[in-house]
Amino acid sequence: MKYYYDLHLHSCLSPCGDMDMTPNNITGMAAILGLDVIALTDHNTSLNCEATIEAGKRNGVLVIPGMELTTSEDIHAVCLFPTLERALDWSEYVDNHRIKVKNRPEIYGRQVIMNSLDEEIGETEHLLLPATEISIMNAHDLVGDFGGICYPAHIDRDSYSILSVLGEIDESCGFTVAELADKTKLDPLKKLHPILGGMKIVTNSDAHYLENMRDAENRLELPELSAEAVISFLRS
C-alpha cells in the first residue's frame, strides 16, 4: 500500500522550532494534511519523540522517532529508528559527543521537553544547534549500529547540506537515501551528481512551524504501516 509521509519535522525542543510545534499540534496537523507517517527529527536530540509518538496514536498518525544530526562538518543528516528505545540510546550517544554550550533562550529560543498532553516537563540546558564530534563519513554506519538509518538532509540547499559543504556525496559514506527540499531540483542534481541515480530520494518539509508542514503529496509503498517497514524500505 502507499502511505503519505513527511520524515523531517521539528518540535519546540529544537531551538529554532516554534513553540506551537507541540506533540499534539504536530500530529494533529499531520492528520489534517492527510499524512500517514511522520518523523520527529529535532536537532541533536530525540527527547520529544516519546510524547509525539503517544500523541500520534491518538491522532491516527504513525510517528517514527528520529533526529537531525549536525555532523562535525556542519552537515545535517536525518536519523530514523525502528523503536523509541533505539532512538533514545542514539540521543544519549550524541549528547556525549557534542559541544556543551549553555543555551541563551533570548537569542536562540527555548528548548522545551513536553509530555503527550503538551505540558512542559523540562528544558534542555545546552544549546542543541552546534556541531557534534560525529563525521558525515561515518554517520551512516554509526546510526546503523543503533539499528537506524541515516541520510543527508536537504542536499539541494546552500547551507548545512552535504553538497554545499563537500561538493559531492562520497560513495564510502554508505548512504542509500538522500533528501531534497524541492523535488523539482532532482534531475539537474542527477546530472551533476550521478551517484543520486542509485539512491532513493525522499522529499520532506523540515518544518519548524505548523504553517510550513506540507499537504500529503509524497508517498512510500510499504507492506504495512510501521517504523520497521519504513526503515526497511529505505535500506533496500
* Residue ranges per structural domain of the chain: 2-235
Tell me the average pLDDT of the chain.
97
**CA neighbor of 123 nearest in space, from 141, 108, 143:** 108
Homologous superfamily (CATH) of 2-235 is: Metal-dependent hydrolases (3.20.20.140)
Distance CA 22, CA 189 (A): 35
Is residue 71's pLDDT more than 90? yes
Is residue 34's pLDDT more than 90? yes
Rg of the chain in Å (alpha carbons): 16
Distance CA 86, CA 143 (A): 10
Work out the percent of the chain whose per-residue pLDDT is above 70. Answer: 100
- The reported pLDDT for the residue numbered 236 is 87
Mean pLDDT across the stretch 179-201?
A: 96
Is the entire prediction scored with pTM above 0.95?
yes
- The reported pLDDT for the residue numbered 66 is 98
- The reported pLDDT for the residue numbered 133 is 97
All three cell numbers of 151, joined, read 541520510
Q: Check if the beta carbon of residue 156 is closer than 8 Å to that of residue 180.
A: yes
Over the stretch 131-189, which tens digit does the pLDDT of each residue have?
999 999 999 999 999 999 999 999 999 999 999 999 999 999 999 999 999 999 999 99
Give every CB contact of residue 16 below 8 A, 6+ residues apart in sequence.
Answer: 10, 43, 108, 109, 129, 208
